[in-house]
Structures are given as C-alpha cells and as structure tokens.
Amino acid sequence: MERVRIGVIGGSGVYDMEALQDVEEITLETPFGSPSSPYVVGTLEGQKVAFLARHGRGHFISPTQLPSRANIWGFKMLGVEYLISISACGSLKEEYAPGHIVIPDQLFDRTRLRPLSFFDDPLHGTGGIVVHISIADPFCPYLSAILYEAVQATGTPVHMGGTFVVIEGPRFSTKGESRIFRQWGLDIIGMTAIPEAFLAREAEMSYATMAHVTDYDVWHETEEPVSVEAIIETLLHNAEVSKEAVRHAVRALQDAPPSPYANALKNAIITRPELIPPEVKERLSLLVGKYLQ
C-alpha cells in the first residue's frame, strides 16, 4: 500500500471529503480495537490523503466513547506524518465570534474518563512499558502556521493561538463552569482534542487543529446558550470552508520535511528495554520498534 503522509480527521459536520479523487476505503484493526469508521484514502492536490470521520459516519460515537487510540494508530499504520484535525468549539472570548476559526496553540485538560496513552495499559496488552512524552507545546507550530494561512486564503476570519479547554462531555458547560474557564484565561472549549493531540505526539506525528467557533458557550449574557441546533447551523456553513482550507493546506504540505516530531519517543521511554515483555514490544512495534532493537 502506498504511504499516506497527510491525514484529516473530520469532526462534527465534516463526515466526508468530496474533493478526494481515486478514492479507496480501507478498514483497519488495531491493538486498541476498530477505528471510528473506514479510512477514505484518495488524491488531493496531487498528494495522497487519508480521511476519517471522528464520530463515525452519521455521528454515532460520543466524545467519551471515541476510539481515539485506534483512530491515531490507524493513521500511523497508513504512514501519516501530518494530521489535520477539524473540530467544533465554543468561544470563551468576545472577539472569537461564531463563524470564526481558531488555530489553538495550547490545551487544558478537563477530561476524566478517557485513556490518554498507548502505553502501560494491561487491558490492551501494553503493560510493562512506561513512556513520559513531552507535550509542553501540544500542537505542531509548523502545521498550525500552514492551517492559519490556509484558512486566511478562504477569506474566513481566523485567529492564531489560544488555549483550548477540553471537557468530558457529552453535556455542555454550566454557566458557573463557563465563567470560571474565562477567569482562568482559557479561549475556546471543546470535547475531542484530548487525547488526540497526546496520542499523535506518542505516534510521532505533527498535529494541529482547525477549531470552528459555533457559539459563545453559555457565559454570554446577550446570546442564547449553546444548543445542538445552533451548532449544526454554523457547522453546515463552515463545512465547505473546512474543506477548502484543507485543500490549501495539502498544497502547502507538498514539499514538507519529515514531521518535526518524527523522533518524539527517542528519549521518552524510561523502562529498561530488557524489562519490557517481548509480547509488549511486538504489540507496540509500530511505535517503539526502532528504539528497542
């Protein structure tokens, strides 16, 4: 199978990429189960691109139940180095208005129920290996800059930088939570960037997010509180913007070097190699094989 360097994971409202040509559907199995849906691999701007619907086609998987480890592992199996995330988000700042797009540069974790790592999970056969990955800057600056310019090219208002707080969901925030998040200096709020960003770093990929502002969460006194109806209305408008921006980004990645995180695990594995069970080395060989030979 031809290697695919660019991946796109579509969030709410983005369940396909019609612009892909010579399309092939690829169903994969991983040590962490099945991904959300088959990967759609095709050609865009002369390059191979793999697309995955994060919540499944038809949106039937909630944020807490997303098979994020399987999703990211599948992209790694395909050879992806640059992973573009499309996500919906609420705004915690007046200037980030519904319809705008934010390219965040930081994350704040308020999740509680999700596996955050591929490693040391006995339930999935990866116990006995401890990895401490550096995630000080969770989004790839190189890919984020490309996404920012790609959105600019569509004419849509876009903001570079900001802290993305990720909540467990599936419920929306209370007003008390929303106000506290604003006091903490957080900028946008969503439900899926964690653990994706952490897993992408463990998989040595560049990861960046195109976050589509759909609402003002519930803190704004002159706007209606967030609702599914309001989100869908904005998402339908922004879906085409997302796809156009992805086209610009893919074109800009044509001559991209290897991911800046291609060796992110090099100094992150703290367990002595001889203590790692052979079956665990084998199970995780896609990620750690080159370091444990």
Residues labelled as active-site residues: 215, 217
Q: 253 with 82: CB under 8 angstroms?
A: yes
Peptide bond into 195 cis (omega under 30): yes
Beta bridge partners of 9: 52, 85
CA–CA separation, 19 vs 44, rounded Å? 7
Q: What backbone phi and psi angles, to 5 degrees, belong to 9?
A: -115, 115
Considering only CA atoms, which of 45, 43, 35, 47 is closest in space to residue 9?
35
